[in-house]
């Protein structure tokens, strides 16, 4: 297995001395610059774990490339005052339409791990979806950021009693929604991980939400997961359920019949089945199928404020970012995540203003054109 992260900067991870990477992160003008800063600081095996996708990485590339094929058609002379970026999701107000997607192993990126991410999300007024594969226990994430709005991402396990115990922990920690990942009946085949021999966490790091008495269970990506288990989850918890990883409009319709509170259009950042469409290309059909019945969220390839506008215009109520948060965290801990979320917020505000929109509700599909 790989060793601890090699840090080329002098940042000490405690948040006092930014060091060279910290200074550079303060100067970074765009989310993509954080990927370079992160790469310079991370063990190459860990960088490849975070960055990589399944198979030939066709879908990984498509997620970003598809945004580049869409153009925004701004409206003029609408006299719109400074835009309101807020969104209401499942009864909760978020200050921006950019949420933190669930990603595993934040302590591989920075010693403060998910604690730092949660504090930055709280400071940005947005929602953090805590991964079931977090390296800080959900209770400790909540305690580190008491103001954070947390949702909990669940990989339902074949052991129903254990699954229920994990749900109870998320509830008790104050999470306000359960995000059930549906795109992972098996783990995607990620060749960068295989090439690097990245098979396990380094000593000292664990999936803290999988502790069960004295041991830590391995996480299962379980092919048996079915609509019946969704019904089971609805029976055992009053938390609203967000179904993550829906790409087919028939599944979106079926999910509505199962009482889901929201859908998250996702291809797992291109890490599961390669060759599935870019999420922004799958969105319009899903939005049409859902037809406003529940909020629709999207993740995958969001790197700019204009990407956020395109997704909102094509029917998403909010979006989430996965890797950008990891890059911010690896570059400069809590401050780096705050900077990434702040850059995206400012870009969304600027783009809304330039599109003549007073709020995210002013966006519609007529403001997006396919260019090729």
Ligand X SMILES: O=C(O)C(=O)c1ccccc1
Ligand Y SMILES: Cc1cc2nc3c(=O)[nH]c(=O)nc-3n(C[C@H](O)[C@H](O)[C@H](O)COP(=O)(O)O)c2cc1C
d(CA 178, CA 303) in angstroms, rounded, equals: 25
| Residue 153 interacts with, from ligand X, ligand Y, none (CB under 5-8 Å by kind) | ligand Y
Residue from 104, 283, 341, 368 in contact with ligand X (CB under 6 A)? 104
CB of 302 to ligand Y, least distance (A): 6
Q: Which residues would be at the binding site for ligand Y (CB under 6 A)?
A: 50, 63, 101-104, 131, 133, 153, 181, 244, 266, 268-269, 271, 299-302, 321-323
| Residue 63 interacts with, from ligand Y, ligand X, none (CB under 5-8 Å by kind) | ligand Y
Residue 41: how many other CB atoms lie within 10 Å = 26
Instruction: Give the per-residue contact string, 263-302, with ligand X (x = CB under 6 A; - = no).
Output: -----x--x-------------------------------
Q: Between 63 and 157, whose beta carbon lies closer to ligand Y? A: 63
| Residue 5 interacts with, from ligand Y, ligand X, none (CB under 5-8 Å by kind) | none
d(CA 102, CA 318) in angstroms, rounded, equals: 15
Q: Between 54 and 357, whose beta carbon lies closer to ligand Y? A: 54
Q: What is the dihedral of CA 156, 161, 166, 171, to 10 degrees?
A: 110
What does 218-248 look like in DSSP terms, one character per residue? PPP--TT--HHHHHHHHHH--S-EEEEEE--
Q: Between 119 and 271, whose beta carbon lies closer to ligand X? A: 271
Q: Between 98 and 363, whose beta carbon lies closer to ligand Y? A: 98
Q: Are the beta carbons of 96 and 125 closer than 8 angstroms?
A: yes
CB of 127 to ligand X, least distance (A): 19
| Residue 321 interacts with, from ligand X, ligand Y, none (CB under 5-8 Å by kind) | ligand Y
Give the total of residues touching ligand X (CB under 6 A).
Answer: 5
d(CA 324, CA 328) in angstroms, rounded, equals: 6
* Residue 313 backbone dihedrals phi, psi, to 5 degrees: -65, -35
Exposure class string for 238-247: b at 16+ Cβ within 10 A, else e: ebbbbbbbbb
Q: Which residues pair with 244 in a beta bridge?
A: 181, 264
Q: Which residues pair with 181 in a beta bridge?
A: 244
Catalytic (active site) residue 248: no
| Residue 120 interacts with, from ligand X, ligand Y, none (CB under 5-8 Å by kind) | none
CA-based nearest residue to 242, from 302, 187, 290: 290
| Catalytic member of 46, 110, 229, 268 | 268
d(CA 179, CA 245) in angstroms, rounded, equals: 10
Residue nearest to ligand Y (CB): 322
d(CA 264, CA 73) in angstroms, rounded, equals: 26
Residues 12-71 within binding reach of ligand X (CB under 6 A): none
CB of 324 to ligand Y, least distance (A): 6
Per rule CB under 6 A, is residue 133 in the interface with ligand X?
yes
Q: Between 131 and 163, whose beta carbon lies closer to ligand Y? A: 131
Residue 229: how many other CB atoms lie within 10 Å = 18
Residue spans of alpha helices (H) in 125-226: 138-144, 160-172, 191-196
Catalytic residue annotation: 268
User: What are the residues binding ligand X (CB under 6 A)?
Assistant: 104, 133, 219, 268, 271
């Amino acid at each position: 297995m790989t060793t601890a992260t090699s840090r080329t900067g002098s940042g000490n991870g405690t948040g006092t001395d930014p060091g060279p990477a910290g200074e550079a992160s303060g100067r970074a003008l765009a989310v993509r610059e954080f990927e370079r800063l992160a790469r310079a600081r991370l063990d190459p095996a860990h960088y490849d774990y975070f960055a990589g996708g399944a198979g030939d990485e066709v879908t990984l590339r498509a997620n970003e490339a598809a945004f580049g094929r869409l153009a925004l058609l701004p409206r003029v002379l609408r006299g719109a005052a400074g835009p309101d970026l807020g969104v209401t999701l499942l009864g909760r107000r978020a200050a921006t339409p950019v949420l933190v997607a669930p990603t595993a192993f934040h302590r591989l990126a920075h010693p403060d791990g998910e604690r730092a991410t949660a504090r930055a999300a709280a400071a940005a007024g947005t929602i953090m979806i805590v991964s079931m594969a977090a390296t800080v226990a959900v209770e400790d994430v909540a305690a580190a950021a008491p103001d954070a709005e947390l949702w909990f991402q669940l990989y339902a396990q074949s052991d129903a009693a254990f699954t229920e115990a994990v749900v109870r922990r998320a509830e008790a920690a104050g999470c306000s929604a359960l995000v059930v990942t549906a795109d992972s009946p098996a783990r995607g085949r990620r060749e960068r991980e295989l090439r690097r021999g990245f098979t396990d966490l380094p000593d000292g790091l664990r999936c803290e939400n999988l502790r069960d008495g004295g041991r830590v269970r391995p996480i299962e990506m379980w092919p048996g997961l079915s609509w019946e288990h969704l019904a089971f989850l609805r029976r055992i918890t009053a938390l609203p359920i967000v179904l993550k990883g829906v790409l087919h409009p028939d599944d979106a319709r079926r999910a509505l019949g199962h009482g889901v509170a929201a859908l998250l259009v996702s291809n797992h950042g291109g890490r599961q089945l390669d060759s599935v469409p870019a999420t922004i290309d799958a969105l319009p059909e899903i939005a049409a199928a859902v037809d406003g019945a529940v909020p629709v969220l999207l993740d995958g390839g969001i790197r700019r404020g204009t990407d956020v506008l395109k997704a909102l215009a094509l029917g998403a109520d909010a979006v989430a970012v996965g890797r950008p948060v990891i890059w911010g965290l690896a570059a400069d801990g809590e401050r780096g995540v705050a900077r990434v979320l702040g850059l995206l917020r400012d870009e969304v505000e600027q783009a809304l203003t330039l599109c003549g929109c007073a709020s995210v509700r002013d966006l519609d599909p007529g403001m997006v054109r396919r260019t090729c």
